[in-house]
Amino acid sequence: MASLINMLSVSPKILSPTTTTRTPSLQTRPFLTPFSASFTKRRFTIRAAETDANEAVKSEAPDKAPAKNGSSFNQLLGIKGASLETNKWKIRLQLTKPVTWPPLVWGVVCGAAASGNFHWNFEDVAKSILCMMMSGPFLTGYTQTLNDWYDREIDAINEPYRPIPSGAISENEVITQIWVLLLGGLTTAGILDILAGHDFPIIFYLALGGSLLSYIYSAPPLKLKQNGWIGNFALGASYISLPWWAGQALFGTLTPDIIVLTLLYSIAGLGIAIVNDFKSVEGDRALGLQSLPVAFGAETAKWICVGAIDITQLSVAGYLLGAGKPYYALALLALIAPQVIFQFKYFLKDPVKYDVKYQASAQPFLVLGLLVTALATSH
């Protein structure tokens, strides 16, 4: 599953709301500390960053409250437009953001295909499903819950109605969920190594490394997401490389050329991660997170995003052509073309307003390109 040079600084100012609401306090203790049953209330003073006129994002800021007729389906998927929910188990599911699982599941499929050793029999299908469970519900669920825990102060600015800042779920319940999902994922990884007959538990160590990467991505003191380059590349690698490696290691051998190729593809993942940064500019500025839209401004960040996605895929197509696989290279080029069309139709026009439409339209072609690349490497 590079650092910024000459980071732009923004001077803060206080936003004065017309009313002061009482919300549950967001305690700042790390999730590894002992549980506490106390859950106090206090008033919030929200500070946001001053928007420089030359750097301002022209799109409207994200809504501060869910729609009156919010969707229960969106709530279960953990995406914008969700309805307010009081059922604890539905809230727990919302924190894991099921909408983010499919790319990890697809990565396992690509790794299995690249191994050249997957067979459509009960044993291989069962092992692949177990690997998908490890990558999706367990470890992605762990990552998303952990990220929401450490983002609770940002969410209090950008999306105060989300489960943690709104107090819909207690801090002890969130911490318990993080541990259950992490331990469940690592246990599943160990079982997969046994089923694959590995002398060295490579899947377990991939899962452990990915879990550590998720932690340092979200948690201080490193908090990789504070840097737009490093954080988004780490996110791209987590979503593309790690599940691919797990799938390939489960059914075959993870080779150096595949490691390099998937890390290259992770640059496209960096671009995809930038798409989600535009809707959080206000909170990122307020808390000093140097996402690329904050550091470079919305206009420049849009082109960095599409450049990372398109140039990476063109480079992979060139690699396949040079490796004597022209038909796979042509197939990949055919899948890049509609992505460029949707970038101009939606994303480059307004990355906040059309983010969902763009991702729903363009990303299926990108993930199909991943499978084309995987099939090319298996032959």
Rounded Cα distance between 24 and 170, Å, is 9
Cβ atoms within 10 Å of 97's Cβ, excluding its own = 18
pLDDT band with cut points at 50, 70 and 90 for residue 191: very high
pLDDT in tens, 251-262: 999 999 899 999
**Averaged pLDDT, 227-245:** 93
Q: For the chain, list the domains and their CATH numbers.
A: 71-253 (1.10.357.140), 255-378 (1.20.120)
pLDDT over threshold 80, residue 45: no
pLDDT of residue 304: 97
pTM, entire model: 0.76
- Helix, strand or coil, per DSSP, at residue 290: strand
Span 85-124, pLDDT tens digits: 678 898 999 999 998 899 899 999 999 999 999 999 999 9
Percent of the chain surpassing pLDDT 70: 78
DSSP per position, 216-280:
HHHSTTT-GGGBHHHHHHHHHHHHHHHHHHHHHHHHS---HHHHHHHHHHHHHHHHHHHHTTGGG
Model pLDDT for residues 270-302, shown as the tens digit of each residue: 999 999 899 888 888 887 888 999 999 999 999
pLDDT interval class at 71 (50, 70, 90): low
Model confidence at 225, pLDDT cuts 50, 70, 90, reads confident
Residue 130 structure tokens: 């177990």
Quick one: tokens of 226? 């504070």
In terms of C-beta distances under 8 Å and separation of at least 24 residues, what long-range contacts does 274-278 make, across chains too?
Answer: 274/228, 274/232, 274/301, 274/304, 274/305, 274/308, 275/305, 275/347, 275/351, 275/355, 275/358, 275/359, 276/355, 277/228, 277/232, 277/301, 278/57, 278/59, 278/351, 278/352, 278/355
